[in-house]
Structure 1
Amino acid sequence: MIKIRDLEYLDAIDIHRHFGRAAEACFVSQPTLSGQIMKLEEQLGLVLVERQTRKVMLTPAGERLVAEARNVLRAAQSFEASAKALLDPFSGDLHIGLIPTLAPYLLPHIMKDLNEKLPKINFYLHEDKTKNLLKSLDEGKLDLLILPWLDEMDKFDRYDLFEEPLVLATSNEHPLSAKKTVNLDQLTNYEILTLEDGHCLRDQALGFCFTAGAKEDHRFQATSLETLRYMVSSNMGITLLPQLATLNQTATNTINYIPFTDPKPNRQISLMLRTGYSRMECIRAVVSCVKGSMKGVI
């Protein structure tokens, strides 16, 4: 009979493409992992792993079966989580994924309440770009995501948490800097500083800006909101920032944060999870806690 552990070994080899690193990830010796993979190949009558001098990769048969192996591993994890939830739905580990344009600005507002109201939950926080987080959620490596909602995420279940407005950031020397509020039409023909490809905020901000007749500034693409902030304060251009990223960032003689009038550009922050996820009592408690923590913040 094929063992769950053997499927974990196959999964690790596909991820690490190296017997030594795969063995370390599985907390076993390299000979143990290699030997078990050979036994699995003998049991199936298939060669799953192509062994080369400097690298290891899966054969076509291995590529097909590792996908099935991951389905089995996800089912086993779900079974174990369901059993634990029957004992105590508000205990155990919870892996949460967030994006860099949200995590550092949201977490200070919600983690204290989450730890106090759900003291037996061990929260593990993972920060990455949207595409990678969605893949990890789909593969069962993460329990839930807190992300700005995009239409292509509709394969996952969703709980809306709050709407976050975007604001205009300008230097004190910019022609728009003296305004108390702005509307999107006032961005016509201006060039907007943006994040690099892979950040969902980039696409959302550009969508609003293009509709308003603004253009992307192609001279520079930032890797973080903090880089954008410094570029704006140096009068290198203007940009749209999420409001949470401007809280406790007092407007100074180098940068101004200007709110938009209606229709305000914003992003819907939602909690996402796989359909059929087993620990729904815990999820509902997290949703309630986050909503409560964010009341009055923005």
Structure 2
Amino acid sequence: MIEKLEMFITLARERHFGRAAEACGVSQPALSAAIKQLEEQLGVLLVLRGSRYQGLTPEGQRVLEWARRLVADARTMQQELKTIREGLSGHLRVAAIPTALSHVPTLTAPFVASNPGVTVSVLSRSSAEILSLLENLEIDVGITYLENEPVGKATQIPLYRETYCLVTHAETDLGEAKRITWNDVSRLPLCLLTKDMQNRRILDGILAEVSADVAPTLESDSIVTLFAHVQTGLWSTIMPESLATSLANETLKTIPIVDPVAGSEVGLVATHREPYAPLISAFLRQVRHLAEA
């Protein structure tokens, strides 16, 4: 039953039988047969079918909620039993918004050092993608904004407040500036993250509050790409100060942005569930300790 529920969750996520089968590592006929068997066991139609996937029935939507809960509980049970036998081990899956990636090692490094049997994978994802990955049990924890968009019924641990600075080439006219206002920033040739990124939506909101219009001449969903373009001296960009400091070099200058000194809270989120799997529970305990310290 659990294996069939996992396949059902994957189908609901992928919305395509072929992609879902590939993600599950089975043939498409095997996936279709498993979903059909699940429907027969439950006595309800779960998936609307035609020549292709057409969505879930109302019963299917309800079963999806139960499936996520049951699969998560089954994984927690298996991990608890393994922990009893072998101690804490396993694979921790983390997703973080791009602007928080430089902060991730402050959490993962001490955790791995304390638990050598643990491995970690870190994904760079948008805030919306992180919530979807949590919901579909594809990650264990996320690091994202806590204030600007709803994170739902999730455990939240505030980590730090993101404040912003201008990143520009050191040899431009701004090279000696100690601070700069948002209105002055809006008049510069800028390269910024794309509008599907929450960081960009936050920046647009701050600029709107001070009645400053900005029209970047280059956009990208890659922070590395933005820094590479700033290196040319033709653009500047706006970045969280902690990230800018970690990536800046001798050719780049970071300038705090004032009037106002704006910020957004970033924190860790995990699906609210008791009991947590031992691995997630241990990580949450350590993150809370680090956040308090």
What is the TM-score of this pair, normalised by structure 2? 0.78
Q: What residue is the counterpart of 1:282 in the other structure?
A: 283
Deviations 1:90-111 (A, max 9, x none): 43332111122322x3345554
CA contact (8 A) 1:47 1:61 kept: no
Aligned pair partner of 1:142 in 135, 139, 142: 139
SS at structure 2 position matched to 1:166: strand
**TM-aligned CA deviation for residue 193 of structure 1:** 3.7
- Which one of 50, 73, 76 corresponds to residue 75 of structure 1? 73
Kindly provide the amino acid, as one letter, of the partner of residue 240 in structure 1.
I
State whether residues 4 and 38 of structure 2, in contact with CA within 8 Å, keep that contact through their aligned partners in structure 1.
yes
CA drift of 1:192 comes to 4.8
- Describe the superposition over 1:184-237 as per-residue Cα deviations: whole angstroms up to 9, x where unpaired: 465465565421122121122223333334322154322222232233344444
Q: Is the 8 A contact 1:190 1:214 kept in 2?
A: no
Residue 77 to residue 287, structure 1, CA distance change in 2 (3 Å): same
Please tell me the residue identity of whatever aligns with 1:75: D
In the alignment, what sits opposite 2:203?
Answer: 205
3-state SS, counterpart of residue 39 of structure 1: helix
Amino acid at match of 1:280: S
Structure 1 residues 38, 209: CA separation in 2 closer, same or farther (over 3 Å shift)? closer
Pair 229,37 (structure 1): closer, same or farther in 2 beyond 3 Å: closer
CA contact (8 A) 2:9 2:68 kept: yes
Residues 207/289 of structure 1: CA separation in 2 closer, same or farther (3 Å cut):
same
Aligned to 1:229: 227
Distance 2:152 2:221 in 1: 27
Partners of 1:61 and 1:160 in 2: CA distance:
36
In 1, Cα distance between equivalents of 2:117 and 2:291: 17
CA contact (8 A) 2:47 2:57 kept: no
Q: Percent identity?
A: 26
Are the structure 2 counterparts of residues 14 and 210 from structure 1 closer, same or farther at C-alpha, using a change threshold of 3 Å? closer
2:107·2:287 contact (CA, 8 Å) conserved in 1?
A: no
Structure 2 letter corresponding to 1:241: M
State the one-letter code of the partner of 1:161: L
1:4-26 superposed Cα distances (whole Å, 9 cap, x missing partner): 22222323333445555434433
Contact 2:189 2:234 in 1 (8 A): no
- TM-score normalised by L of structure 1: 0.77
User: Counterpart of 1:283 in 2: which secondary structure?
Assistant: helix
CA 1:47–1:171: 2 relative to 1, 3 Å: same
- 2:93·2:139 contact (CA, 8 Å) conserved in 1? yes
Amino acid at match of 1:264: V
Secondary structure (helix, strand or coil) at the match of 2:92 reads strand
Unaligned stretches of 5+ residues in structure 1: 293-298
Q: Which residue of structure 2 aligns with residue 133 of structure 1? A: 130
**Matched residue pairs, number?**
286
What is the CA–CA distance in structure 2 between the aligned matches of 1:284 and 1:209, rounded to whole Å? Answer: 37
Instruction: Report if aligned partners of 2:189, 2:217 keep a CA contact under 8 Å in 1.
Output: no
Give the aligned CA root-mean-square deviation in angstroms.
3.4
1:98 and 2:96 are equivalent in the alignment = yes
Quote how far apart the aligned CAs of 1:133 are: 0.6
1:42-73 CA-partner distances (Å, limit 9, x unpaired): 344444445555x3444535643334433332
Within 2, Cα distance between the matches of 1:70 and 1:111?
A: 26
